[in-house]
């Protein structure tokens, strides 16, 4: 096995996992009908997050999820994203064991976070976003579950 593919737990490190993949859509209702047809799944959660200006639906996919994001209003970041780039892949969320430690390491290496503080998500998990300019062009969400 390639050394880089050795599971982190075998090296005494915590094992990060893909928590969800975020997809920006024009309409959650339209997107849900696609995923219901394709995967036969229904959302485990559907809610509005006023602080982020989004409506989300979480679709369970194995140990992970697909997060559908629809902008809630004209000034929503998701509305602007869809206007500029069209619907599509928006971010990747990875679960980490110790979010504070990750944030400290990122700050120490000069990487840019989207917000200054760790925020509290819809399902009680805490999260931060690493700006795409500091994350290889990918909007990276780091999540710590309660
Ligand atoms: Zn997310």
What pLDDT, on a 0 to 100 scale, did the predictor assign at position 43? 85
CA distance 86 to 99: 31
Pairing of strands 64-71, 17-25: parallel
Domains of the chain, earliest start first = 14-144 (3.10.180.10)
What pLDDT, on a 0 to 100 scale, did the predictor assign at position 45? 87
Measure 141 CA to ligand 1 centroid, in angstroms: 6
DSSP per position, 100-146: HHHHHHHHHTTPPBSSSS-EE-TTS-EEEEE-GGGTTT--EEEEE--
Measure 16 CA to ligand 1 centroid, in angstroms: 15
pLDDT means over runs of 10, the chain (146 residues): 64 81 96 91 88 92 94 94 97 95 96 92 88 95 93
What pLDDT, on a 0 to 100 scale, did the predictor assign at position 134? 93
What pLDDT, on a 0 to 100 scale, did the predictor assign at position 28? 95
First and final C-alpha spacing in the chain: 33
What pLDDT, on a 0 to 100 scale, did the predictor assign at position 7? 67
Length of the chain: 146
Measure 116 CA to ligand 1 centroid, in angstroms: 17
> Which of 72, 70, 31 is CA-nearest to residue 51?
72
What pLDDT, on a 0 to 100 scale, did the predictor assign at position 123? 77
What pLDDT, on a 0 to 100 scale, did the predictor assign at position 109? 96
Q: What's this model's pTM, rounded to 2 decimal places?
A: 0.86
Measure 36 CA to ligand 1 centroid, in angstroms: 20
Measure 37 CA to ligand 1 centroid, in angstroms: 23
């Amino acid at each position: 096995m390639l050394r880089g593919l050795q599971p982190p737990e075998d090296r005494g490190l915590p094992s990060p996992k893909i928590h969800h993949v975020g997809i920006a859509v024009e309409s959650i209702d339209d997107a849900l009908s696609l995923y219901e047809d394709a995967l036969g799944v229904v959302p485990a959660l559907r809610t509005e997050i006023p602080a982020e200006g989004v409506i989300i639906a979480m679709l369970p996919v194995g140990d992970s999820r697909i997060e559908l994001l629809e902008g809630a209003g004209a000034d929503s970041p998701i509305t602007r994203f869809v206007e500029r780039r069209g619907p599509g892949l928006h971010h990747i969320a990875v679960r980490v064991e110790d979010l504070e430690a990750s944030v400290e390491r990122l700050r120490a290496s000069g990487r840019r976070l989207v917000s200054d503080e760790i925020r509290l998500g819809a399902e009680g998990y805490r999260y931060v976003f690493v700006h795409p300019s500091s994350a290889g062009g990918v909007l990276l969400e780091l999540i710590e579950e309660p």
